Amino acid sequence: MKYTDATIEEVDDALKRSWKAFELYRDFGLAQRAELMNAIARELEKEAENLILVAGKETHLDPARLQAELKRTIFQLESYAAACLNGAWLDARIDTADNKRKPAKPDLRKMLIPLGPVVVFGASNFPFAYSTAGGDTACALAAGCSVIVKAHPAHAETSELVAAAIKRALLAHIMPEEIFIHLHGAAFEVGKALVEHHLTRAVGFTGSLEGGRALFDIAATRPMPIPVFAEMGSVNPVFLMPKKLMQDPGSIAVQFAHSITQSGGQFCTNPGILVGIDNESLNLFIQCLHKEIEKVKPVEMLHPGIAKSFHEKRKNALQQNDVEVLSTTSFTSTELQTIPTIATVSASAFIVNPILHKEVFGAYSLLVKCGNMEEMLEVAKALEGQLTATIIATPREVNENLQLIESLKEMAGRLVLNGVPTGVDVALGMQHGGPYPATTDSRFTAVGADGIRRFARPFCYQNWDNDLLPDELKNDNPLHIWRTVNGQLTMDPVGVFTE
C-alpha cells in the first residue's frame, strides 16, 4: 500500500478544518463558486495527459474511455458551475408583506443554503467523473459546501493527482485551501469515522449495495441523522416487445451487445437482464446477439477484487436452476478479465429465484424467456428498485401494455424507449437515481445540475430589511436569477408588475 489510511484523529482534525473552511466558503457568492469550479476544470485539463496515464495503470480502462471520462468530468464542473451561476436551483421564493391583511402578512424570502461539510466516497469504476473531482464534489461545491474526499483505494494515485489539481485551483484563486480535503482510507473504519463525525452534514457514495447500506445505517443512527446519497447500481432490466424486435432484431442485438460489454460491462447502468417473449423475433435477436458476443474481447477488470467478485457471481448465477449459457466470448479470459456472457432462463425459474435478480457487475446479462405478456408483467413486478428500465417497443406496443409501463415507472428512475440505458447524459433532464436498492434516496439525482440540491436546505428570512438580505433575495434582483415572487416565476425586481 503506497498511501497510509487516515487515523481517527486525522479524520477528526479534517472535519474541524473542513468546518472552518465551510464557515468562510458558505458566504462566497454564486460567481465565486462558479469561478472555483471552472478553475478546477482548467487544472484538470492541464494535467490531462498524466491523469490518463496514471488512471490507465490503476484501473486498466483504455485511454479513449479515460479521455472521454475526463472530458465528461470537466463538462460536469463547467455545466454545474453555469447552473450555480444561473441560480434557478436556489428555488428563491419571495412573498411580500401585506399589512392590510388580518393578521398582517409578513415579508417571507426563502432560498437554499448549504448543509455543511460533505464527505464523498469515489467510485471504483469512474476514477474521474464519479470520484475526487466528480459529480458529488462538483454539486457540493456549487451548493456552497466544503468537501472531504476519501480516495478510492483502487485508484489512489489518480485521486492524489486530482486532489493536487483542486488544491492548485484553490491557491490560485486565493481561496481557503481546506474547502477541499483529501484522505486515504482502504479500511472501512476510516469511512465509518467520516460518516459518524458530528460535523459531517451529508455523504455522497457510489459503489456496492453492501457498502452504501452500511454507510446509510451509520448515518441514520447518529444522534443527528444526516442524508446519505448512495448510488448502489442495479440490473437495469430491458423489456423486448415482439413487434418492435421483429422490425430489426440484428441492429438491436448489435446495440445491446455493445451496451452490455463496453468497458468490461463495468457501468451501473449496464443492462444485466433482458426480458423477451419466446418466439421467432426473440430467436432472431438471440442469433445476432450470440454472434456479437463471440466477437467481444475480454478486458482486464478495474481491480482484482472486482474480477474475483465477477467470476464468483457469474459462476453462482450459472449454477442456478434452469440457467444456461447462451453465448460467451470466443476468446480465452484470465482470472483478472471479464468473460463476456449471455445466459438464459425461463421466466418461471427467474421469478422465484432472487439470486438471479441481483447484479453480476461486469459484462454479463441474463435473458429471461417469457411464455406471454402476463409472464413478462410478472417478471417486472418481481424486480426491485432500479436506476433504469428499458423497453423496446412500437408505439402500439406501449399503448397496449400500460400496466407493464406503470410497473417499470414504479421500479426505476429513468425509462428508456428504444435505446440502451448506458450513456448517462449530463443534463438537467437526466435522472440518475431510483427506488431502493438502486439508491438510498430516490428523491434526488446524482447526474445533472439538479444534484446540487442534495447538499442544500431551504432557509427563510422573515421581515428582513432589503439591505440586510443576501443578493439572491434583494428587491432589485442584482444576480438576475429566476425567483417566484408572490406566486409568479420572474426575473423582474420585486414591486414590478409581472404577467
Kindly identify the residues of this chain, within the stretch 421-440, that bind a second copy according to CB under 8 A.
Answer: 423, 425, 427-431, 433, 435-437, 440
Contact 172, 5 (CB under 8 A): no
Residues known to be catalytic: 231, 268
Q: Is 50 among the residues that bind a second copy (CB under 8 A)?
A: no
Tell how strand 180-183 and strand 238-240 pair up.
unpaired
Give how far Cα 270 sits from Cα of 33, 125, 174, 235, 279, Å. Answer: 34, 12, 42, 7, 25
Q: Give the type of residue at 302.
A: L
Binding mask 59-88 toward a second copy (x if CB under 8 A, else -) reads ---------------------------x-x
Q: Give the type of residue at 277.
A: I
Distance CA 491, CA 294 (A): 57
Q: What is the DSSP letter of 35?
A: H
CB of 4 to a second copy, least distance (A): 33
What are the percentages of helix, strand and coil residues in the chain, rounded to 5?
45, 20, 35
CB of 340 to a second copy, least distance (A): 21
Binding mask 103-142 toward a second copy (x if CB under 8 A, else -) reads x-xx-xxx--x-xx--------------------------
CB of 264 to a second copy, least distance (A): 19
Q: Is 3 among the residues that bind a second copy (CB under 8 A)?
A: no
Q: Which of residues 138-177 bind a second copy (CB under 8 A)?
A: none
Nearest to 215 by CA among 249, 242, 240, 185: 185
CB of 185 to a second copy, least distance (A): 24
Q: Is 327 among the residues that bind a second copy (CB under 8 A)?
A: no
Helices (H), 173-236: 188-196, 209-220
For residue 93, give the 3-state DSSP assignment: strand
Binding mask 197-226 toward a second copy (x if CB under 8 A, else -) reads -------------------xx--xx--xx-
Q: Is 258 among the residues that bind a second copy (CB under 8 A)?
A: no
**List 304, 305, 354, 419, residue binding a second copy (CB under 8 A):** 419
CB of 81 to a second copy, least distance (A): 13
Q: Is 444 among the residues that bind a second copy (CB under 8 A)?
A: yes
Nearer to a second copy, 62 or 294 (CB): 62
Distance CA 440, CA 230 (A): 5
Q: Which of residues 457-476 bind a second copy (CB under 8 A)?
A: 457-465, 467-468
Ramachandran sector of residue 176 (left: φ over 0; alpha: ψ -120 to 50; beta: rest): beta
